[in-house]
Amino acid sequence: TMHPLLPLCVLWLLPVALMLETDSPQNCVPRRLVPYHSDNALLFQEEGVFNYSTMLLREDLGLLVLGAREAVFALDLANISNKNSSVEWKVTEKQVSKCRGKGKDPENDCKNYIRALHMLKDGRMYVCGTNAFDPECDYLSFENGELTLKKTGQDGKGKCPFDPFQKYASVMLDDELYSATSMNFLGSEPILMRSSGDASIRTEFKSSWLNEPKFVSMAWVPESVQSATGDDDKVYLFFTETAVEFDCYNKLVVPRVARVCKGDLGGLRTLQKKWTSFLKTEINCPVLNSPLPLLIQDSYLWCDYNLSWKECIFFAIFTPQSYTSDVSAVCAYNMSDISRVFSEGKYKTSVNVETSFVKWVMYSGEVPVPRPGACINNEARSMRITKSLDLPDRTLQFVKDRPLLDQAVEPVSGEPLLMRRGAAFTRIIVNQVQAADGRKYHVMFIGTGKGTILKAVNYDGEMFIIEEIHIFQTPQLINILAFSTATGQIYAGSDQGAAQIPLANCERSLSCIDCVLARDPYCGWDAAGAACVSLSTPERHLIQNVAAGDASLCPDADPIKVVSLSVRVGGKLELSCPPPSSLTNVRWERGKSVLTSSPRQQILLDKLLILNATAGDAGHYCCSSVERSKAGEFTTTVTEYQVSIDPADPNVCDRSVTPKPQTNGPSVAGLHAVIALLVIALAALSAWTFCKRYRPQFSNCTNRSEQTQEAVGHQNAARPAMAEAKPLVSEPQNSCRNNNAV
């Protein structure tokens, strides 16, 4: 007789299985999960202070300047647990009551949240805070080991948000602050502004310029350097906004990139004190099966300053805008591709379809010269236009009406570098490292909504998450990430505190095979010292193979110490075998035979459980982990046991009774085993479809493309495998296995 719950269970799991199967290509599982441990990171926390969300690296002073709620800290860059100085910036009672009078929460809203923290040329810093919904900016200096605020009480409107929950972006360039925020108390007047002293240049307050935007990040690109066209430097702004150009959704939010020229002074009559160079376009990160575009959350400009700015790459993270999906993605954008869209792309223009209905279409008419929205370049100079004030009205009116370009910016190789289900990506930084193979790899460090940092590389199109490190004890959103080349350390901030981690912690790998399969470009195996060490360790030949994870280069491992155990007849035996990575499959052998799971002898994720031991259970047990990489399958012995069975105590147990054969079908324990088995099969199944290459097709609103033929093919191929949910220990099918599935 079958357990009554069993068929139900299978019925319930099958749809789950199919769902997981279709989703699995979008999920890369970290090879190693590093649970919270106080050694993972150096921490900084100040009693009673929260919301650590602004950072300024002062490598010149060896300091990390950290902005929080009502306070700024100067921490030792080498070890942020050491505080050098701090300064409070609290709101006054009068300001709190004014803020409360406007209906804001005195405990949360009516505080001073530090939002901008930038360095000035003279070594001082410029700092802005929300100041109880009345933004203020000030000068901050570090002298004689002390941080001090000048208390100038500058108006921060347009430089800093009123609302501490509002996203915000700013950069400082030549002592001029570029800020993207909201100008007013209600948060309804968005602005991209450059301010220097009393002078400012800003965006038009028009929905075609900015339409309910959420600002994400900003970066300066030195495009004037060795420019053949005499071009200007630019500031790029990433944000999301409600699209004006789509009419099939009520409110479709899209990710955008906009840019302005550093030398822009506004127009003389048209666009007076407004940007003449504000152009924007959509930025795509196509994820298969996502009906709505994913939204940008953060970007990181990676540049090798020995090369041209054209070699710079923007790495950006995206999260879904609907609750139907939880796939976060990273896309990379070639700077020269972005630049080409802005300098050559077509414009969109609005046309009145009916009396009150406006449609945005590609503009195919004549475009004025100089090109609307272009920086002042040699071509303009040849027309005796040396500054934006000289631009003709025709050009200015054109860009005032049509700041949106027709062509979207597409990511390098047309698809995400990384996709992961689960906790949303919140921040990204990227570091480049030269691996032992001489090639340079971009290593992505991604903060998540649950206080972890993912370390990932895309190896020639293969997504690979080296590890996921828990840096905070409790789940908390990573507000900010920064990287210092001076210390080679990564700094993270959350509402509860700040943390510092190194780029790599090679010691986490204890064996050569694990060190090589980790595919961490910072680490290699030192055969002489028998340790996984940092690649920067001088004068050593290290074993590393990041591109394929070829662990056959490893020397034979030392034999494992055999653990002797004894158990009495009828007793319970637990043989542990912690899998070295989440991508391995575990194999148990007794003597020469491979064990399969049964109700009495259960193979669990990290151990073998033998119930009601019999004399026949004595013997030599060996647990090995099998991990697959591009280069093949690698087996490591994890644990070995020599088990002996003591005769049972005759007073307790009747030796003449032999264990009853399992003819009665699954017991409750049996049911558990069957579930465990199904779960393992599911994991294998999702592994099977995981990380398969596919061609994403971005569905936009007019032309929703269906799943590709190839992906459908995978599904069909996978289904028979599902039906035979028999293999008790699933064969490793692919390098990535979906552990999150269960």
In the complex, the residues that contact ligand NAG under the rule CB under 6 A are 42, 50-51, 61-63, 76, 79, 81-82, 84, 113, 145, 164-165, 304, 306, 313, 334, 336-337, 412, 495, 599-600, 611-612, 667, 669
We find the least distance from the C-beta atom of residue 370 to ligand NAG, in angstroms, to be 24
Question: Smallest gap, in angstroms, from Cβ of residue 59 to ligand NAG?
Answer: 11
Q: Give the integer Cα–Cα distance in Å for 180 and 159.
A: 7
Nearer to ligand NAG, 167 or 359 (CB): 167
Residue among 429, 424, 428 nearest 475 (CA): 424
In the complex, minimum distance from the CB of residue 324 to ligand NAG, in angstroms, rounded to a whole number: 26
If the CB atoms of residues 339 and 452 are measured against ligand NAG, the closer one turns out to be 339
Closest C-alpha among 476, 467, 471 to residue 490: 471
Q: How far is the CB of 605 from ligand NAG (least distance, A)?
A: 19
| Cβ nearer to ligand NAG, comparing 110 with 279 | 110
Rounded CA separation 334/414 (Å): 11
SS3 for 686?
helix
Dihedral in degrees, nearest 10, Cα atoms 483, 485, 487, 493: -10
Shortest gap between Cβ of 329 and ligand NAG (angstroms)? 18
Shortest distance (Å) from residue 78 CB to ligand NAG? 7
| The pairing of beta strand 562-568 with beta strand 632-646 | parallel
How many CA atoms lie within 13 Å of 100's alpha carbon, on the beta-carbon side?
A: 10
**Measured from the CB atom, is 272 or 434 closer to ligand NAG?**
434
CA 194 – CA 616 distance, rounded (Å): 80
> Can you say whether the dihedral through the CA atoms of 27, 33, 38, 40 is positive or negative?
negative
Choose between 229 and 397: whose C-beta lies nearer to ligand NAG: 229
State which residue, 129 or 370, has the beta carbon closest to ligand NAG.
Answer: 129
Rounded to 5°, angle at Cα 23 from 17 and 25 = 120
Closer residue to ligand NAG in complex, CB, 47/354: 47
Q: What is the DSSP letter of 345?
A: P
Nearer to ligand NAG, 265 or 330 (CB): 330
Nearest distance, CB of residue 373 and ligand NAG, angstroms: 22
How far CA 7 is from CA of 14, 97, 620, 741, in Å, comes to: 11, 64, 37, 20
- CB of 653 vs ligand NAG, minimal distance in Å: 8
Cis peptide leading into residue 650 (ω within 30°): no
- Cβ proximity to ligand NAG, 63 vs 465, nearer residue: 63
CB of 574 to ligand NAG, least distance (A): 14
3-state secondary structure at position 446: strand
Residue pair 128/193 in contact by the 8 Å Cβ criterion: no
- H or E stretch covering 565: strand 562-568
For residue 554, the minimal CB distance to ligand NAG (Å) is 30
What is the C-alpha separation between 104 and 89, in angstroms, rounded?
Answer: 19
Instruction: Select 35 or 145, whichever has its Cβ closest to ligand NAG.
Output: 145
**Nearer residue to ligand NAG within complex by CB, 464 or 472:** 472
Cα–Cα distance measured from residue 124 to residue 15, given in angstroms and rounded to the nearest whole number = 60
CB of 173 to ligand NAG, least distance (A): 22
Token pair for residue 181? 């925020």
User: In the complex with ligand NAG, which residue's Cβ is closer, 166 or 211?
Assistant: 166
Rounded Cα–Cα distance for residues 404 and 310 (Å): 23
Residue 218 CB, shortest distance to ligand NAG, in Å, is 20
Q: How many CA atoms lie within 13 A of 659 on its CB side?
A: 15
SS3 456: strand
Which residue do the tokens 């003819």 mark?
A: 663
Q: Tell me whether residue 50 or residue 621 sits nearer to ligand NAG (CB atom).
A: 50
CA 523 to centroid of chain Cα atoms: 22
> What is the closest distance, in whole angstroms, from the C-beta atom of residue 497 to ligand NAG in the complex?
10
- C-alpha 684/C-alpha 47 separation (Å) is 47
Residue 714, classed as helix, strand or coil, is helix
Least Cα distance to 452 among 27, 37, 26, 20 occurs for 37
Cβ closest to ligand NAG, residue 63 vs residue 736: 63
The least CB distance from residue 698 to ligand NAG, in Å, is: 19
What is the distance between the alpha carbons of residues 182 and 164, in angstroms, rounded to a whole number?
11
Residue 461, by phi and psi: left (phi above 0), alpha (psi -120 to 50) or beta? left
Q: Which of 515, 516, 479, 513 has its CA nearest to residue 498?
A: 479
Q: How many Å apart are CA 394 and CA 662, to the nearest integer?
A: 89
Query: What is the closest distance, in whole angstroms, from the C-beta atom of residue 435 to ligand NAG in the complex?
Result: 14
> Closer to ligand NAG at the Cβ: 5 or 18?
5
Residue 97 phi/psi, 5-degree rounding, is -70, -30
Whichever of 391 and 417 has its CB closer to ligand NAG, that residue is 417
In whole angstroms, the minimum distance from the beta carbon of 337 to ligand NAG comes to 6
Amino acid at position 1, single letter? T
Instruction: Print the SS3 string covering 212-274.
Output: CCEEEEEEEECCCCCCCCCCCCEEEEEEEEECCCCCCCCCCEEEEEEEEECCCCCECCCCECE
Question: Bridge-partner residues for 58, per DSSP?
Answer: 63
CB of residue 260 to ligand NAG, shortest distance in Å: 23
Amino acid making up residue 5: L
Q: Would you say 304 or 646 has its CB closer to ligand NAG? A: 304
Among residues 59 and 731, whose Cβ is nearest to ligand NAG?
59
- Cβ proximity of 737 and 687 under 8 Å: yes
Alpha carbon 187 to chain centroid distance? Answer: 28
109 contact partners, CB below 8 Å, separation of at least 6: 99, 132, 133, 163, 164
